[in-house]
Homo-oligomer: A and B are copies of this chain.
Amino acid sequence: MESRRSSDLGLFFEPRSVAVFGSLRQGDGEGYVVIDNMLKFGFTGNIYPVNPSYSQVLGIRAYPAVNDVPGPVDLAVVITPPATVAGVIRQCAQKGIRAAIIVTEGFAETGEAGARLQEQVADIARSHGMRLIGPNTIGIINSANGLVTNPYRIGYDRVRRGSIAYSSQSGVIGASAQPLEDRAYPISKMCDFGNKCDVDEADWLDYLVHDAETKVIAMHIECVRGGRRFLDVLRRVSDSKPVVVLKAGRTEPGARASASHTGSLAGSEKVGNDVFRQFGAITVNTLQEFWDIPKVFASQPLPGGNRIAIVSPSGGTGVMAIDAAVESGLVVAQLTRATLDRLSKFPANLARNPCDVGPSMVLSEDRQSVQETALGALLGDANVDCAAIALYAGPIGSITDTANIMDELRQRVSKPMAIWIYGPKLSMREDLALRLEAMGLPTYLELQTAVKALAVAAEYAQARLDRSRVEGFSQ
């Protein structure tokens, strides 16, 4: 049935071969940059530049037309002028290509004429059973095979392979605008849907629910077409994988601006945070939350409850962490007698939660053993479900020691942790953050976000438990 096409986006994300249509001008041609990015990020498949004016680019043979390419092509990346795109898509269809990313701008987002052009392109693809992402998109990323189709120079060449799938309707959420390498976000796949003339968020969820690389899904959403279909998929997917949603265009003026820049037609359903939550999504409000909150799901187990332990080298930090915890639905864990006894043997009393290790670290001969013991005791406490840990990175003590303690801790603890790193030098904070991220420990730029991530994880775990009970009863 024509209208019920496969949601399998496998050809987009795991193509064995990619044809690139666009200017191959050295340095800044859009096709050149896409190919350059794929090479830099180590794409493992075949790349076929298609452009009659070049015989090779970046050491790769170019073909005058896609029909000249020997062997099959799984994916086309198209960055030719708007008026040429329909022809390119037709050629792709004739070559048997079933997936194309149209990077080109200048379609529905520019007005009526652009919208008609876009519909024409979509019709051609549809009639050939070809799926399209875009137009007006920076494309996709698959960290597992180095597929980075971004048409802009990026400035780095590595995306950390991990289990978060990020999607957006904006280039600002992409490799060329975000420090994916410097922050070491653990990424499985990324997709910018652009104008969504075909592939949309519902397809994305349908695909990701079966994607073994993806454990958590983070979506920047401006508008959802076919809202009911999306919500049904959201409900189903969020039962097995957490879906974090940053809804942009929450306000009326925001929604109007969104319709303008993405070329969305009027009539897109108004779906807001309340509805997303009702269908199982976790909603966030800022870009920082969008990037950082999913990290707790990427590497940490779900908390068994909502009781938080807080470990901090400063009393004031503990107070702010409690506020954030209580305000986001966690409770401050009551430590067991055994834990309290164990923690009362230090120079300054550690036997409380939040556990302020600062004074004992100052007074003790062995700074690190204070931190180590406190962390071990709190995370080992039966009354503790999760821990927010504030770590200092700076010229006092050793970043390596701190990293080693956390490495040892994470190997014997099976409770979720979220880490806020503070300190006087950004370079040292980033150093420690990268070391911890490499171990699979989620680090946060803001104390309150670290705590909120744990709260969100606890809420998700509880909701899933509640639903499974309801289902158990109804059987």
Contacts and interface: CB of A to CB of B under 8 A. Distances in A.
Contacts of A181: 424
Interface in A233-268: 248-254, 257-258, 260-262
Nearest to A420: B287
A188 interface: no
Given A318-B257, A445-B445, A323 B248 contact: yes
A419 to B, nearest CB: 15
A61 interface: no
Given A257-B354, A316-B220, A319-B248, A424 B326 contact: no
A447 interface: yes
A394 interface: yes
A463 interface: no
A320 B287 CA distance: 9
B425 A179 contact: yes
A134 to B, nearest CB: 14
Given A156-B424, A315-B260, A318-B261, A326 B254 contact: yes
Nearest to A288: B446
A105 interface: yes
Contact of A425 (B156, B354, B424): B156
Contact of A258 (B178, B319, B358, B394): B319
A427 B155 CA distance: 11
Interface stretch (A18-26, A69-77, A164-172, A203-211): A164-172
Interface in A379-426: 390, 392, 394-396, 422-426
A370 interface: no
A100 interface: no
Contacts of A359: 105
Contacts of A249: 319, 322-323
A51 to B, nearest CB: 19
A196 to B, nearest CB: 13
A173 B322 CA distance: 17
State how many copies of this chain the complex holds: 2
A77 to B, nearest CB: 17
Contacts of A152: 396
Interface string A313-357: 011111110110011000110000000000000001100101010
Interface in A102-120: 105, 109-110
A317 B423 CA distance: 30
Contacts of A331: 253
Contacts of A153: 394-396
Interface string A280-293: 00000111100000
Contact of A287 (B322, B352, B392, B446): B446
A448 interface: yes
Q: Which of A154, A254, A448: most chain B Cβ within 10 A?
A: A254
Interface residues of A, number: 80
Contacts of A428: 155
Nearest to A30: B362
Given A154-B424, A178-B422, A425-B156, A326 B251 contact: yes
Interface string A175-190: 1111111110000000
A183 to B, nearest CB: 8
Interface string A418-450: 000011111111100000000000000111100
A454 B152 CA distance: 31
B395 A154 contact: yes
Nearest to A318: B257
A251 B173 contact: no
Given A316-B169, A422-B177, A322 B254 contact: yes
Nearest to A395: B155
Contacts of A395: 153-155
Q: Which 4 A-B pairs have the closest CB atoms?
A: A170-B316, A261-B315, A251-B326, A155-B395
28 contacts: A152-B396, A154-B395, A155-B394, A155-B428, A156-B425, A168-B316, A170-B317, A171-B358, A173-B316, A176-B394, A177-B394, A177-B423, A178-B422, A178-B424, A179-B423, A179-B425, A182-B424, A222-B319, A248-B319, A248-B323, A254-B322, A257-B315, A257-B318, A257-B319, A258-B319, A261-B356, A286-B448, A288-B446
